[in-house]
Amino acid sequence: MSVQPIRLFGDPVLTTPAEKVSTFDKELRVLVKDLTETMLDAPGAGLAAPQIGVSLRVFTYDVDDVIGHLVNPVIGVKSDEEQDGDEGCLSFPGLAFPTKRKQRVVASGFTMHGDPITIEGSALLARCIQHEVDHLDGVLFIDRLDPEQRKAAMRAIREAEWSGLSPSSVKVSPHATGGLAV
């Protein structure tokens, strides 16, 4: 296992809320490694497990030269201050749209070894955390756009060359072949 194919918009795994990780085992460590390698290969600022077809609450990030991951994240807002700026997603290749996000967030969760960890982020890291935690809830960045931008996004998606190419299986483990959870 290493670099994995990234699931594209239209794949049901991307709109399925992911399950909490309950076992901090070798399989989870392999998942974090796969996510990290796939994110760096893409390259992207973050990657959530559903994007490689694994419906578990895990994401990785690579922001300002810091590479990390978070398991079972719970997000909190540090202030009402917002940021605006173009946001894209590896599951929507080549597309980006202005997306409002909170400027500062804090996320608590666990490392792949089961140790509690809290990340605080502003600007790009805050945007990344919100985007990835949304993925774990089955929410996509196009769901966060204002109505006019969303219309433009849906049009661009229909016209994108990858549109309609997504496969459609949902796994709850990186190695299981059965156990579909659609």
Q: How far is the CB of 53 from Zn ion (least distance, A)?
A: 14
Query: Taking CB under 5 A as the criterion, which residues in 148-167 touch Zn ion?
Result: none
28 or 89: CB nearest Zn ion: 89
Q: How far is the CB of 59 from Zn ion (least distance, A)?
A: 9
- Give the per-residue SS3 of the chain: CCCCCCCCCCCHHHHCCCECCCCCCHHHHHHHHHHHHHHHHCCCCEEEHHHHCECECEEEEEECCEEEEEEEEEEEECCCCEECCEEECCCCCCCEEECCEECEEEEEEECCCCCEEEEEEEHHHHHHHHHHHHHHCCCCHHHHCCHHHHHHHHHHHHHCCCCCCCCCCCECCCCCCCCCCC
21 or 87: CB nearest Zn ion: 87
Q: Is 19 a catalytic residue?
A: no
Question: Which of these is catalytic: 27, 37, 132, 159?
Answer: 132
Query: Taking CB under 5 A as the criterion, which residues in 51-110 touch Zn ion?
Result: 89
Q: How far is the CB of 122 from Zn ion (least distance, A)?
A: 19
89 or 129: CB nearest Zn ion: 89
Q: Which residues are identified as catalytic?
A: 132
Q: Which residues contact Zn ion (rule: CB under 5 A)?
A: 89
